[in-house]
Chain A
């Protein structure tokens, strides 16, 4: 079921007494069967947007531009939460602590009006199937307090799916879990989504989670949508500086360009830019280290910290001409070849850099590979 939002805005507080805009008026189209990640820092409005889709919160009513929410052909703008046919998964599970796992999952079915309610035998069979799906069939008679966080979140997912909702909404579903369980559940949710083919929207502040799990990511900040794209496009061509900075670590190089050379203290870099002040941004993996400068780049740095993390080595670089230290990720082979130690002086060589001249323009990425 597709989700179509039009003119959704949300303001908290009363006029004249410190109004805060949680959401600027925005439109969003989510296609049938998509898994969409709402990504942004806290206060960006992503959870508010999710709760408005669910109907747990109401969008502002604007007389000049009426807002609307459609699930497929169904206009749900004025429909109560309980009639929207959504599944909602909360960050802290919100399981009913006084009910067994079985009763939790069965809640939606047993709460149906008598006429629509399936027979108790059918309810039992359906709950059993759901518990098998989340691999918890052996724990049906336990209480939530007896389960681990990951198991509780799986129960809450089974509960949300019991009524076969049109859309599944997840509010930071893995936020309260530890890294390993989170990874496992992510993969499992992706699998479940592909198998059952519902439309899902989930909120996260973890860019890795958003990029790994989503078909498309909606990046938000300050109540606005900054960019909507697939993870590949998002990472390759961020729409603006905010998106670029939010999606990963960023190193900054500020300097003055004269005659095609950017200088900053005793650092030099040949660039194809106009005269004047410029700021360049570099990802950690776009920095190479070597014992000698090149003709194009003369950027002397000192190694101040080394941390081997998985497939690469994270190295912190400092220099007089840098306002804040740089972070570079280099391959183990280079690390060993250069015999990198703390305090060692080397030269940084950018493979590529990015620049965002003005707001809301596509990036200019340049190859400066030596």
Chain B
């Protein structure tokens, strides 16, 4: 048997093309971020990072992420459970609806939230008369972040739970297990890796979300500025080193996320072997 691309010439060409393209498009930008961030020395980098506005942006981003993850964790598990374990009218429709945040541009999502919950919006007007402000404040940022990231956990779980079927749960219930016992001792152990994977993806997106957040945040320095927005503000202020210092933080979080994901996959592969 002769496989396609097995000839030494073809193989060399393909491998070098892959290496060059990855270096140009993936590796080089990453290196550039850190190179730029440290271009004026480590103490300038440190000064930029410890600036009050930057610290506030870091804090806000982490705050939003920490709130988003548990909300989407519960939402994703509940949705996956509902869709895979029950038959009801509208089940297909619901499965399609889950994908809306993926299909819609984040900017559009932000605008829709602004339209609904802004001071002149349909619901926002009523909220305003009761002195509740969602837009241009952290609750708005949280809302759009949840919206943008809500499919990740459910999307990870649904195919897995469909493949696993409900046999284990039926077995548990014939053994007298209550709903909570069943979930904690049978369902959760079966889905834990996929769940963790979904959480990692949610985390990555929540930290890095720009489009939707930029519409609803107002980017008030020290108040509603998240880290990705802060990078843009610094860059527009011609503070290149500062922008890249903050960007390097985002890159670092991304790298950590990737490492965790790779570690999980490695563990899962080892468990299967």
| A interface, CB within 8 angstroms of B | 54, 56, 81-83, 86-88, 90, 92, 94-98, 107-108, 111-113, 156, 159-160, 162-163
Contact = CB atoms under 8 A, between A and B. Distances in A.
Interface in B167-185: 167-168, 170-178, 181, 185
B171 A88 contact: yes
A159 B167 contact: no
8 contacts: A54-B174, A82-B176, A96-B171, A97-B190, A108-B175, A156-B171, A160-B174, A163-B175
B189 interface: yes
A54 B177 CA distance: 15
Q: Which 5 interchain pairs have the tightest Cβ spacing?
A: A108-B175, A88-B174, A94-B171, A94-B167, A111-B177
Contacts of B186: 96
B56 to A, nearest CB: 43
Given A96-B186, A98-B189, A111 B171 contact: no
Contact of A56 (B174, B175, B181): B174
A269 B167 CA distance: 55
B168 A94 contact: yes
Contacts of A113: 178
A111 B181 contact: yes
A90 B170 contact: yes
Interface in B39-78: none
B174 A82 contact: yes
B177 A82 contact: yes
A95 B178 CA distance: 18
A212 B102 CA distance: 58
Q: What's the dominant secondary structure at chain B's contact region?
A: helix
A82 B168 contact: no
Nearest to A91: B167
A82 B170 contact: no
B174 A98 contact: no
B190 to A, nearest CB: 7
Contacts of B181: 111
Given A86-B174, A96-B185, 9 more contacts: A81-B170, A94-B167, A107-B172, A111-B175, A111-B177, A111-B185, A112-B176, A160-B174, A160-B175
A306 to B, nearest CB: 42
B178 to A, nearest CB: 7
Contact of A92 (B167, B177, B189, B190): B167
Contacts of A163: 175-176
Nearest to B89: A14
B196 to A, nearest CB: 15
Contacts of A54: 174
Contacts of A90: 167, 170-171
A98 B173 CA distance: 17
A160 B171 CA distance: 9
A97 B171 CA distance: 12
A82 B171 contact: no
B195 to A, nearest CB: 14
Given A90-B167, A98-B189, A107 B175 contact: yes
A87 B173 CA distance: 10
Residue in B168, B170, B171, B178 whose Cβ sees the most chain A Cβ within 10 Å: B171
B172 A111 contact: yes
A26 to B, nearest CB: 23
Contacts of B189: 96, 98
A112 B170 CA distance: 16
A111 B177 CA distance: 5
Contact of A82 (B167, B178, B190): B178
Contacts of B173: 56, 81-82
A152 B173 CA distance: 19
Interface string B85-117: 000000000000000000000000000000000
Contact of B170 (A56, A107, A159): A56
A15 to B, nearest CB: 14
Contacts of A88: 170-171, 174
Interface in B6-51: none
Nearest to A116: B176
Residue in A56, A82, A113, A160 whose Cβ sees the most chain B Cβ within 10 Å: A82
A113 B178 CA distance: 9
Contacts of A81: 170, 173-174
Contact of A96 (B168, B174, B176, B178): B168
Nearest to B169: A94
Contacts of A92: 167
Contacts of B177: 82, 107-108, 111
A235 B168 CA distance: 38
Nearest to B176: A82
A299 B190 CA distance: 64
Contacts of B190: 97-98
B194 to A, nearest CB: 14
Interface in B146-202: 167-168, 170-178, 181, 185-186, 189-190
B176 A108 contact: yes
B111 to A, nearest CB: 40
B87 to A, nearest CB: 10
A81 B172 CA distance: 10
A71 to B, nearest CB: 14
A160 B176 CA distance: 11
A54 B168 CA distance: 15
A98 B192 CA distance: 11
